[in-house]
Structure 1
Amino acid sequence: MSNHVSTSGPVPRTATEATTVDTNTHPAKKPSRVKRFLPLAVLAAAVATAFSLGLHEHLSIDALRQHRALLNGFVADNAVLAGLAFVSLYALATALSLPGGVVLTIAGGFLFGVATGAVYVVLAATLGATAVFLIARSALGSALRDRAGPFLKRMEAGFQENALSYLLVLRLIPLFPFFIVNLVPAFLGVPLRTYVLGTLFGIIPGTVVFVLAGAGLGSVFDQGGGFSVGSVLTPEVIAGLVGLSLLSLLPVAYKHVKARRARS
């Protein structure tokens, strides 16, 4: 009797081969276009609704003057609830890109004092800006980068190499509107962690300046004097912010000098 065993049947696959076949058979699904653009559409609709209702018109120094007693009384009686309400309102206004962020920052100092007001403002602004960043990155970021030309790709590479320093500069010096600085990093592939850190620390100096102004707003009201947002940004304040932004560029300058020395 022959001991030969036939091998004409199917040969068992190894675990690696099976995994490869299964992976190829079931490729990862990309998120649908509807799922990608739905948050952006909701945000756009909310922005349009807010402007059509004129909500941004209520963010003014005059509104603080008119409702001063009511606001101060509510904060005194409901400190925690008032803080949560303020942070939520500020984050929502930032996410909707409503004008009046400076007035809200002043209101933070006016209602909660310098230390607590600054913490609330920085937290709320970072939350709102991060929401915009995530929505823009998921909906448009990858599509724009895929269609980017050589110039934009070089700009993206340079920005990513020194993303934290550049973000700090953009946050420290108000050269561009806040909502523009929220969107551009999303299109240039900046990591979320870098974006959050750059926003968090970059807005602290300017926040403290306006919160300090807000903390003294009550005495201005008592004296019947006027107040303008522009009066806060004195030449000394602007010089200080510019100085901080130059310090944040030191790592970029160091990398540039180091690269030149290496080439030579």
Structure 2
Amino acid sequence: MNKRLVLLALLAAAILAYFWFDLGQYLSLDQFKAQQAEIIAAKDAAPALYIGGFFLLYVGVTALSLPGAAIMSLIAGALFGVVTGTILVSFASTIGATLAFLSSRFVLRDWVQGKFGDRLKAIDDGIARDGAFYLFTIRLIPLFPFFVVNLVMGLTRIPARTFYWVSQIGMLPATIVFVNAGTQIGAIDSTAGLMSPTLIGSFVLLGLFPWIARMLVAGAKKIRAH
């Protein structure tokens, strides 16, 4: 059987299983909060197992373009703290994004072209105009949904290695903000926790992030001009 068809069948089966068995319920913040104490206790008993399992799950969710990555970023903060959580999410999200990019380029090209062809021209024009800097810009400022960027970029001429390292750097600020917010969300056990300064600060950062990203992009453009 054609290798491309085999890969396509495996991707379809994985996505179907996700929705058929309603696996998304396990990636909800409410579900995590309901079992927070038990999950943290189990993580503390086997930290390496939980770190490895969380990493692989995050890679799988992003590689298959499934919903839940943002919630998992928050949960990473609650489970592992800012430093470990950020490292896990940064590498898992970038590896998963690159796998989605490669699947689009080599397996799902026709489907992606038909589904997101209207967005492809804008991204193609941006890559032609600014190269990798355009990808950096849309990673910092979400002009398009995360999964759409992964898939549509697979149809451009950008090399996979460039896609990887630009995505890793470009997504890092948002990753830090989300994971940091998650450290406080996981700690809330009463209404008093809703007013903690760190949590309020985390949500302020979430609100300000697009503006901060625009300033970073503008600064980077000035550096490139010189």
Whether the TM-score (by the shorter chain) exceeds 0.5 is: yes
Cα offset for 1:109? Answer: 0.7
1:1-264 alignment runs, 5 A limit: 34-141=2-109, 156=124, 159-160=127-128, 162-223=130-191, 231=203, 234-250=206-222, 254=225
User: C-alpha deviations, 1:167-221, integer Å up to 9, x for none?
Assistant: 1111112232211010111101210111001111111000000111011123323
Worse-superposed segment, 50-59 or 205-214: 50-59
Hey, what does 1:14 align to over in structure 2?
none
- The worse-fitting range, judged by mean Cα deviation, of 243-252 and 91-100 is 243-252
Q: Do the aligned residues in 2 keep the contact of 1:206 with 1:241 (CA within 8 Å)?
A: no
- One-letter amino acid of the counterpart of residue 209, structure 2: V
Aligned partner letter, 1:134:
L
Offset of residue 238 of structure 1: 2.6
Aligned length: 216
- Structure (1 or 2) with the larger CA radius of gyration: 1
Deviation at residue 119 of structure 1 after TM alignment? 0.1
Question: % of aligned pairs identical?
Answer: 36
> What SS is found at the alignment partner of 1:106?
helix
Let me know the Cα RMSD of the aligned residues.
3.1
TM-score of the aligned structures, taking structure 1 as reference length: 0.71
* CA 251–40 in structure 1, closer or farther in 2 if over 3 Å, else same: farther
CA distance in 2, matches of 1:144, 1:128: 17
The CA deviation at 1:251 is: 6.5
Answer yes or no: is the 8 Å Cα contact 1:132–1:183 preserved in 2.
yes
- Of Structure 1 and Structure 2, the greater helix share is in 2
Amino acid at match of 1:208: I
TM-score (norm 2): 0.82
CA contact (8 A) 1:43 1:96 kept: yes
List gaps (5 residues or longer) in structure 1: 1-31, 146-151, 259-264
**Secondary structure of 2:154's partner?**
helix
